[in-house]
Amino acid sequence: MASSRVKATTTIALSVIEDVLTLATTMVASSIAFSMRSIGFVLLKSPHVVPVFKRGAREREYAEIRDEEKRLLEKEKEEEEEDDSASLRRIEMEFAVPRAPTVVGKAREILFQEQNQEDAKQLEAKLVSEFAMSASVFYPADASSSSLENTVVLLNCTGGTQETWRASGVVERFCEKKNCSVLTLDMRGQGLETDIVDYDSLRVLAMDVLAVLRTVQEEKKRYKIGAKMHVVGYSIGAGVAMWIGVLLSPNRRGGERLTRPKVDSISLYGFTSKGVIAGRKNFIDRVLTQAFATEMFVRACGIRGFIGLMRLGIRPNYDALNAQKMNVDDLTHYTCDTNTLDGFAYQVKSWTTFELSRDEIKSIEIPTLILHCKGDERAGHKREHKRFDAETMPRGEFLQIQGDYSHLWPYENPEQFVRVVEEFQNRASARRL
């Protein structure tokens, strides 16, 4: 009996010691991580670190970031309203989409403004199995619903937001042709959304987007949607766009076969079917995909630290950015600083595990353009992988862009980006007549 008591006491004591040591290790790791945020360098993998940074630890910083972002957006909106010559109009929307979709359904538009207490309770009850997804449609101020022939759907990079497309000038350039509108979305983990919904693949993000596209296509006049729809994906958005192509495949097996929404073309930049893991050889690449691209790292070093390290691999064309009156700090303000750590971490985990099979790639029958810049190689996106994807698709095209541009090419030279994509969209539309 005494022996049993000794053993039990010893077990409890060891457990307490282990907990104390775990806590001490976690606190030391936290201190190191935060002290080294400026260079974004931490080599810690302990699973015990993660909970320490779970939301509350950085809540004040995020609140300040969100307040600043809202202030800037309100200022921009006021400036637009004061400018009588503003060429664009904007429809802002919120859609309820299933938290755990099993099939592609329709999104339900919801309104948060001017709700009484009872309506708010009903909405809260409905959103238990759904979450709110922000979207916007931009269209020329002098365009009528009947004159809109095309709608471009822009899917952004990891940490990107709707405002990134606007800030970079991409939205305005697509709308310069009076027959075109632009649909932007904040996917899970993007924008100012605080209700982060867990997901395990880019396929789920694709199903979210398709649900919204189905809804807006059924009411084209209301949402200013053109007869033809073109999906443009950049970085993680390109991975989502590839999944959209797979889900819309008429020959898809073991999953959804959709007749709606109708997508006339897909344009991709900064992603391949092998994701960003394949072909990693240098140190920076290894750290990004293996040691640092984890939920723990993002929480420990912060979004700014992660982006700071990524810059070493991206190496943007500063001259091109300056020509657009932008710099990397501007871009990160409109991208990652508007995201919560949870949302950003989920996105990072998604693209580090992304891979489509050859049969899935082959099933994409929508005309698809895969774009490549030499500088995108530094972000881990290999030319041979992109060419393989294009050649595998029945209606795929591969195009290498001339010029010293990086993974940030759509921001570095938005005029060239829009022109190349529009030329392909016109060719795709002509072939589908």
Residues 200 and 259 in one domain: yes
Of 250 and 20, the one with more pLDDT = 250
Tens-digit pLDDT profile for residues 119-143: 555 555 556 678 888 899 999 988 7
User: What pLDDT does 258 receive?
Assistant: 58
Helix (H, G, I), strand (E, B) or coil at 274: coil
Report helix, strand and coil shares of the chain as percent, to nearest 5: 55, 15, 35
Give the pLDDT mean for 258-270.
86
| Helix and strand numbers, DSSP H then E, in the chain | 17, 9
Highest mean pLDDT among 37-41, 301-305, 315-319, 360-364: 360-364
- pLDDT value for 229: 95
247/396 same-domain check: yes
Highest mean pLDDT among 62-66, 273-277, 283-287, 323-327: 323-327
Per-residue pLDDT, averaged over 91-110, amounts to 84
DSSP-assigned letter for residue 47:
G
Claim to verify: residue 108 and residue 139 sit in the same structural domain: yes
Note whether 373 and 248 are same-domain residues.
yes
Residue 377 pLDDT > 60 = yes
Q: Which residue has the higher pLDDT, 288 or 248?
A: 248
Question: Does residue 40 belong to any structural domain of this protein?
Answer: no
- Has residue 41 been placed in a domain? no
Q: Which comes out higher in pLDDT, residue 100 or 219?
A: 219
Mean pLDDT of 383-401: 94
**For 335, phi and psi rounded to 5 degrees?**
-115, -95
Instruction: Give domain status of residue 299, yes or no.
Output: yes
Read off the pTM. 0.78
56 with 186, same domain: the answer is yes
CA atoms of 246 and 264, how far apart (whole Å): 14
* Sign of the CA dihedral with 229 first, then 235, 241, and 242 last: positive
pLDDT at 418 over 90: yes
Helix (H) or strand (E) holding 428: helix 414-431
Range of the domain at 411: 46-431
Position 110 confidence tier, pLDDT thresholds 50, 70, 90: confident
Q: For residues 18 and 130, state if they share a domain.
A: no
- Same domain? For 352 and 220 the reply is yes
Q: How far is CA 396 from CA 73, 114, 202, 389, in A?
A: 38, 47, 21, 8
**Model confidence over 31-62: pLDDT tens digits?**
444 444 433 333 333 333 333 344 455 556 55
Beta strands 228-234 and 368-373 are unpaired
- Helices assigned H by DSSP within 249-408: 283-286, 295-314, 318-323, 328-334, 341-351, 358-362, 383-392
The number of folded domains in the chain is 2
- Between 433 and 183, name the one with better pLDDT: 183
Are 186 and 334 members of one domain? yes
**Preceding peptide of 261 cis, ω within 30°:** yes
pLDDT band for 24, please (50, 70, 90 cuts): low
Which pLDDT belongs to residue 426? 92
More confident call, 315 vs 219: 219
Mean pLDDT of 147-172: 90
pLDDT band, very low/low/confident/very high, at 420 (cuts 50, 70, 90): very high
> 131: buried, middle or exposed (CB in 10 Å: 19+, 13-18, 0-12)?
middle
Q: Please report how the helices 341-351 and 295-314 are oriented relative to each other, as an axis angle in degrees rounded to 10.
A: 70
Residue appearing with tokens 């209700």 = 195
Closest C-alpha to 218, from 109, 364, 367: 109
Question: pLDDT band for position 273 (50/70/90)?
Answer: confident
Q: Percent of the chain beyond pLDDT 70?
A: 61
Q: pLDDT value at position 349?
A: 74
Mean pLDDT of the chain: 75
Pairing of strands 88-98, 228-234: unpaired
318 and 241 belong to one structural domain: yes
Residue 385 lies in a domain: yes
CATH number of the domain that 134 lies in? 3.40.50.1820
The yes-or-no verdict on residue 376 having pLDDT over 60 is yes
Q: Domain check: are 27 and 148 in the same one?
A: no
Are 28 and 103 found together in one domain?
Answer: no
> 345: pLDDT confidence band, cut at 50, 70 and 90?
confident
Does any domain span residue 197? yes
Same domain, 360 and 425: yes
Distance CA(372)–CA(219), nearest Å, equals 35
